[in-house]
Amino acid sequence: MSKYTEDDLREELKTKEYEYGFYTDIESETFPIGLNEGVVRAISKKKEEPQWMTDWRLEAFRVWQEMEEPDWANVHYTKPDFQAISYYSAPNSKPKYDSIDEVDPELLATFEKLGISLDEQKKLAGVAMDVVVDSVSVATTFKKTLAEKGIIFMSISEAIREYPELVKKYLGTVVPQKDNFYAALNSAVFSDGSFCYIPKGVRCPMELSTYFRINQAGTGQFERTLVIADEGSYVSYLEGCTAPSRDENQLHAAVVELIALDDAEIKYSTVQNWYPGNAEGKGGVFNFVTKRGLCEANAKISWTQVETGSAVTWKYPSCVLKGDNSVGEFYSIAVTNNYQQADTGTKMIHLGKNTKSTIISKGISAGKSQNSYRGLVQISSRADNARNFSQCDSLLMGNECGAHTFPYIEAKNKSAIIEHEATTSKIGEDQIFYCNQRGIDTEKAIALIVNGFSKEVLNKLPMEFAVEAQKLLEISLEGSVG
Amino acid sequence: MDLKEKLVTSFLALENRVNVDSPIHDIRSEAMKVFENLGFPSKKDEAWKYTALNTILKHDYSVFPKQENAIEYKNVKKYFIHDIDTYNIVFIDGKYSSHLSQTTHDGIDVCLMSAALNKPKYRLVIENYFNKVASKESITSLNTAFAQEGAYIHIPKNKVVEKPIQVLYFSTGSEEALIHQPRSLVVVDENSHVQIIERHQSLTDNPVLTNSVTEIFANKRAIVDYYKVQNDNQNASLIDNTFINQKRESHVSVHTFSFGGKLIRNNLNFYQNGERIDSTLKGITIIGEKQHVDHNTLVHHIEPNCESHQDYKGIFGDRSTGVFNGKVLVNKEAQKTNAFQANNNILLDDKASINTKPQLEIFADDVKCSHGCTIGQLDESAMFYLKSRGIPQKEAKALLMYAFANNVLESVKIPEMKQRINKIIAHKLGVNIGFDL
């Protein structure tokens, strides 16, 4: 057997095609391309939204028109033409299904290819799924179990109709309409997303999970997620994505808002595997996401993400630690290959006393990709005894890729303790040699090392999800993860 | 008239006094155009995000001092490292002071920039080195446009300069407000070794703004140790731009001691053009009141097998603000680079703040790069330990702070220099301890 070297691995990675690149043909109702006030109104009408929601969208749209697309991130791409995108697309087989048998069989086959057949999921580990295919929620399971506990878990458009008070109270409080260019765009045109409310003192008995999937050629996906954990409650929320192969760039601009009231805890995990483009860097999804959580007193928000896809990623899940004794956590693995570019990280804004935050970020770059960590730790002058620990490690495979670290640390309180450390290295020849010596071939050895490198973050994922995460890591660094 | 307009008109005045036919003047005009286009940097520029210049730009600065001033050596002796023999290049309000200086042309050139720019015998060196490594951004260009006077140091091959060179800039305050733009050039040829100390000192409370540019060229196997002492008064501001071009196997270290001034901005840039180069960047910052110190460093690793070490310690009291913005750039060819960067800070008061941004940009895979950054307080238990042994609070605190900053001082190679810094630290911390144990 010939020796499997790092070069072979690189070669293999280069030629590796996107496994999940298939396209499901579902008749869908798609808006013509372009964006103006009329389109925003039409979306709102289509979703049968109340007047306040339409106004809210229009307000965002007007702000968005005034804004400029940001270019400070360490990524280079052709800016999307916002007038060349269709802003609404819904699977045609409406209305809602009561049971899974009613679902379009082709759609079910899609899920099967992804290895997430609903039946199996139902039985497995009690995961309730709010499956989103092209912006409209088509199946919601375990609703009954959740309803018994008083937990509301539904698509956001349903929530706007059924619980307008809750949505009105919290929507846009963490990520305001005018927060940034993409958040404003999302606020104006978001088509659907998930809404989740955990009542006081309730511990959500199962992992809540949503699969997002871009399916229709030329439609952007603008998801809006709102999770509210009332006092003393707990919820673990999972989000995972895969997208079919497509040549033109697709835009994904989601907004996620988390609100953890006093003593509540939210754990939000993401596995992201949008189509990254082919080996020449053609195609791929643009992922410009705004994710932010607000912690009231003694609350905790924990973000875990595994980023393997997208041609361009621009994503900073953040925590605003407003209440005293609140805790923010961020665990991330970002893998880039070929011509992928990722500029990702977090913001920890310490406002309350005795607030704590932890940042663990692992970047793996291969091929000709660029992987950046950009983070902010801000301690306000009233945040006594704030504590932060950050660690950013980068692993480089090959000398055509780049790894960058841009940490911003701003401290205005003398009792703050902040530690930040970052390292960049490659897989050591001595490490490989050590493994070889013990009869582990080079491929396995690299797998072992990469696995060990990312273990700290993988361990933070809920068990059911860790399997999926491992699988997605495999696609990006095939042959190197065992 | 704002300062930018004033500088633009002053440049026209300058053209009447200097030889406009020399190639230097082409460089000046070119630079002036750059500055006219860009103007002073604002907080919108990423590199100036945490440092606003507007408070120091509002004064009506004189660009050219009206008269020459003299000062007595005994009045300024304390600003010299006077207990050892040194070469001295001294400027008063931007004009060379021959009676305070001690220059030489004996084997080495320790003299003036104005001489080097105008005399034919230096033409070759100026052509090869002048403005070759300085960046083309606005503040540096402004200096280039007015480049006339400063230190010129040229050490030819195989020379070990036996005594340090001190470069001092005094401002007497005879003008209401004064802007200085010294421009220095240091060229150290193969196998040579030199130590340089630089200090800017204002003698009165009149506002002074210094925009200094120093270019340092360390050729093959040269060793350059550069020390910057910044302990100015509350109305003096300094923008110090240093550009260092290193050739293979050279060692350059720059120590920056920032203890005072209204606003200090240090732009320190290292370019490693060769293999097996070693660069050291170290600094101690101890400030209080409403002072502001900003360290902006760049180490650009261009070729393989090089090292860089950065270690900056900061102690911030009262309402002072500190900024550290360090960047390590590793080119794809620069394999086997070893780059280390550390920035540790202590905040003493709630009104003090620190913004730090240590960046790594890495394009090569076989490298070891790390950075660490901390913000914290003095260790309570260590304080208790010292106090329980009868050391008063103030002294105990000073000892701990000294210990915190000490490993920056360890690499200072001139013992008298170290003693001097120890004294300043003791003075800054308000204690009477020698620290020289």
List, for residues A235-262, the tens digit of each pLDDT value: 988 876 554 445 455 788 889 999 999 9
More confident residue, A88 or A63: A63
Q: Please tell me the distance from the alpha carbon of residue A481 to that of residue A427, in angstroms, as a whole number.
A: 14
**Residues of chain A with a CB closer than 8 angstroms to some CB in chain B:** 72, 379, 381, 394, 396-426
More confident residue, A39 or B164: B164
Q: Does some domain include residue B237?
A: yes
Taking an 8 Å cut-off on Cβ atoms, the answer to whether A417 and B375 are in contact is yes
Average pLDDT, chain B: 88
Q: Does some domain include residue B409?
A: yes
Indicate if the pLDDT at residue A175 is higher than 80: yes
Contact A77, A285 (CB under 8 A): no
Contact A375, A407 (CB under 8 A): yes
Identify the band that residue B436 occupies on the pLDDT scale cut at 50, 70 and 90: low
Taking an 8 Å cut-off on Cβ atoms, the answer to whether B354 and A409 are in contact is yes
Identify the band that residue B58 occupies on the pLDDT scale cut at 50, 70 and 90: confident
Longest dimension (CA), chain A: 70
Give phi and psi for B23, each to the nearest 5: -60, -25
Residue of B nearest to A378 (CA): B355
Of A396, A411, A417, the CB nearest to B353: A411
On the 0-12 / 13-18 / 19+ scale of CB atoms within 10 A, B395 is: middle
Measured between beta carbons, which residues in chain A are less than 8 angstroms from residue B401? none
In angstroms, what separates the C-alpha of A457 from chain B's closest C-alpha?
Answer: 20
Domain that holds residue B391: 378-437
Identify the band that residue B222 occupies on the pLDDT scale cut at 50, 70 and 90: very high
In angstroms, what separates the C-alpha of B23 from chain A's closest C-alpha?
Answer: 38
Same domain, yes or no: B37 and B154: yes
Measured between beta carbons, which residues in chain A are less than 8 angstroms from residue B349? 414
Number of residues that this document lists for chain A: 482
The residue type of B406 is N
Indicate if the pLDDT at residue A141 is higher than 60: no
Of B355, B364, B373, the CB nearest to A399: B364
Contact B242, B276 (CB under 8 A): no
Taking an 8 Å cut-off on Cβ atoms, the answer to whether A411 and B362 are in contact is no
pLDDT tens-digit map of B396-413: 999 999 889 888 988 898
Q: Does some domain include residue B247?
A: yes
Indicate if the pLDDT at residue B110 is higher than 70: yes
Any residues with CB less than 8 A from the CB of B70 and at least 6 apart, and which?
A: B92, B97, B99
Q: How many CB atoms lie within 10 A of CB B17?
A: 9
Question: Which one of A272-276, A282-286, A363-367 scores highest in mean pLDDT?
Answer: A363-367
Q: Does some domain include residue B305?
A: no
Q: Which of A376, A385, A405, A429 to mutate to test the interface with B (most CBs of B within 10 A)?
A: A405
Three-class DSSP category at A399: coil
Domain end call among B238, B273, B308: B273
- What is residue A28's DSSP assignment? E
Same domain, yes or no: B268 and B382: no
In angstroms, what separates the C-alpha of A416 from chain B's closest C-alpha?
Answer: 6
Of A401, A409, A421, the CB nearest to B355: A409
Same domain, yes or no: B187 and B55: yes
B336 and A CB contact within 8 Å: no
The residue type of A198 is I
Q: Which of B375, B378, B380, B401 to mutate to test the interface with A (most CBs of A within 10 A)?
A: B375
Question: What is the structure's pLDDT at A89?
Answer: 66
Contact A320, A350 (CB under 8 A): no
Contact B111, B87 (CB under 8 A): no
More confident residue, A54 or A25: A54
Three-class DSSP category at B377: coil
Contact B223, B246 (CB under 8 A): no
Measured between beta carbons, which residues in chain A are less than 8 angstroms from residue B369? 423-425
Taking an 8 Å cut-off on Cβ atoms, the answer to whether A426 and B369 are in contact is no
Q: Which of A385, A388, A414 to mutate to test the interface with B (most CBs of B within 10 A)?
A: A414
Residue B198 in tokens: 């630089």
| Average confidence (pLDDT) over A52-75 | 85
Taking an 8 Å cut-off on Cβ atoms, the answer to whether A399 and B358 are in contact is no
Q: Does some domain include residue B329?
A: no
Question: What is the structure's pLDDT at A329?
Answer: 92
Indicate if the pLDDT at residue B244 is higher than 90: yes
Domain end call among B273, B292, B307: B273
Taking an 8 Å cut-off on Cβ atoms, the answer to whether B354 and A411 are in contact is yes
To 10 degrees, the CA torsion angle through B358, B363, B364, B365? 80
Measured between beta carbons, which residues in chain B are less than 8 angstroms from residue A410? 353-356
Name the percent of chain A lying above pLDDT 90: 19
Q: Which residues pair with B179 in a beta bridge?
A: B209
Measured between beta carbons, which residues in chain A are less than 8 angstroms from residue B363? 399, 401-402
Question: What is the structure's pLDDT at B46?
Answer: 83
Q: Please tell me the distance from the alpha carbon of residue A364 to that of residue A392, in angstroms, as a whole number.
A: 11
Taking an 8 Å cut-off on Cβ atoms, the answer to whether A411 and B355 are in contact is yes
Question: What is the structure's pLDDT at B270?
Answer: 94
Longest dimension (CA), chain B: 72
The residue type of B381 is S
Q: Please tell me the distance from the alpha carbon of residue B218 to that of residue B186, in angstroms, as a whole number.
A: 8
- What is residue A353's DSSP assignment? T
Same domain, yes or no: B268 and B384: no
Q: Does some domain include residue B317?
A: no
ipTM: 0.79
Question: What is the structure's pLDDT at B406?
Answer: 87
Indicate if the pLDDT at residue B208 is higher than 60: yes
Measured between beta carbons, which residues in chain A are less than 8 angstroms from residue B332? 399-400
Taking an 8 Å cut-off on Cβ atoms, the answer to whether A396 and B351 are in contact is no
Question: What is the structure's pLDDT at A91?
Answer: 52
Q: What is the CA radius of gyration of chain A?
A: 22
* Packing angle of the helix pair B393-409, B380-388 (nearest 10 deg): 120
Q: Please tell me the distance from the alpha carbon of residue A144 to that of residue A150, in angstroms, as a whole number.
A: 10
CA distances from A302 to A235, A270, A352, A354, B120 (A): 11, 11, 17, 17, 69
Measured between beta carbons, which residues in chain B are less than 8 angstroms from residue A422? 358, 360, 370-372
Domain end call among B217, B245, B273: B273
Contact B202, B233 (CB under 8 A): yes
Taking an 8 Å cut-off on Cβ atoms, the answer to whether B372 and A419 are in contact is yes
B213 and A CB contact within 8 Å: no
Q: Does some domain include residue B331?
A: no
Residue of B nearest to A417 (CA): B376
Any residues with CB less than 8 A from the CB of B268 and at least 6 apart, and which?
A: B240, B242, B244, B254, B256, B281, B295, B296, B297, B298
Question: What is the structure's pLDDT at A104?
Answer: 53
Q: Please tell me the distance from the alpha carbon of residue A259 to that of residue A294, in angstroms, as a whole number.
A: 5
Q: Does some domain include residue B240?
A: yes
Average pLDDT, chain A: 77
Taking an 8 Å cut-off on Cβ atoms, the answer to whether A399 and B349 are in contact is no
Q: Please tell me the distance from the alpha carbon of residue A119 to that of residue A97, in angstroms, as a whole number.
A: 15
B362 and A CB contact within 8 Å: yes
Identify the band that residue A348 occupies on the pLDDT scale cut at 50, 70 and 90: very high
Taking an 8 Å cut-off on Cβ atoms, the answer to whether A421 and B373 are in contact is yes
Residue A259 in tokens: 């609100």
CA distances from B430 to A46, B289, B321, B437 (A): 72, 14, 20, 18
Indicate if the pLDDT at residue B1 is higher than 60: yes
Any residues with CB less than 8 A from the CB of A271 and at least 6 apart, and which?
A: A238, A239, A240, A241, A305, A306, A308, A461, A465, A468, A469, A472
Q: Please tell me the distance from the alpha carbon of residue A480 to that of residue A4, in angstroms, as a whole number.
A: 11
Q: How many CB atoms lie within 10 A of CB A449?
A: 18
Same domain, yes or no: B90 and B223: yes
Range from A277-291, A307-321, B270-284 carrying the lowest mean pLDDT: A277-291
Question: CA angle, B161 as apex, B158 and B162 as ends, to 5°?
Answer: 130
Question: What is the structure's pLDDT at A10?
Answer: 55
Taking an 8 Å cut-off on Cβ atoms, the answer to whether A414 and B348 are in contact is yes
Question: Which one of A31-40, A187-196, A401-410 scores highest in mean pLDDT?
Answer: A401-410
Question: What is the structure's pLDDT at A338?
Answer: 81
Contact B315, B283 (CB under 8 A): no
More confident residue, A57 or A28: A57
Taking an 8 Å cut-off on Cβ atoms, the answer to whether A421 and B371 are in contact is yes
β-strand A417-426 against A387-396: which pairing, if any?
Answer: parallel
Taking an 8 Å cut-off on Cβ atoms, the answer to whether B363 and A399 are in contact is yes
Taking an 8 Å cut-off on Cβ atoms, the answer to whether B370 and A424 are in contact is yes
More confident residue, A208 or B266: B266
Measured between beta carbons, which residues in chain B are less than 8 angstroms from residue A402? 361-363
pLDDT tens-digit map of B60-85: 888 887 777 788 888 888 888 888 89
B329 and A CB contact within 8 Å: no
Q: Which residue has the tokens 């880039």?
A: A336
Q: Please tell me the distance from the alpha carbon of residue B284 to that of residue A70, in angstroms, as a whole number.
A: 36
Name the percent of chain A lying above pLDDT 70: 74
Indicate if the pLDDT at residue A125 is higher than 70: no
Same domain, yes or no: B121 and B258: yes
β-strand B95-96 against B87-92: which pairing, if any?
Answer: antiparallel
B376 and A CB contact within 8 Å: yes
Q: Please tell me the distance from the alpha carbon of residue B373 to that of residue A390, in angstroms, as a whole number.
A: 9
β-strand A318-321 against A347-350: which pairing, if any?
Answer: parallel
Contact A177, A60 (CB under 8 A): yes
Question: What is the structure's pLDDT at A119?
Answer: 47
Q: Where do the domains of chain A lie?
A: 6-476
| Average confidence (pLDDT) over A383-410 | 88
* Packing angle of the helix pair B393-409, B415-428 (nearest 10 deg): 150
Which of A16, A10, A17, A19 minimizes the C-alpha distance to A442?
A10
Q: Which residue has the tokens 């057949």?
A: A117
A250: left (phi over 0), alpha (psi -120 to 50) or beta: beta
Measured between beta carbons, which residues in chain A are less than 8 angstroms from residue B325? none
The residue type of A337 is N
CA distances from B110 to A256, B157, B247, B301 (A): 64, 15, 22, 30
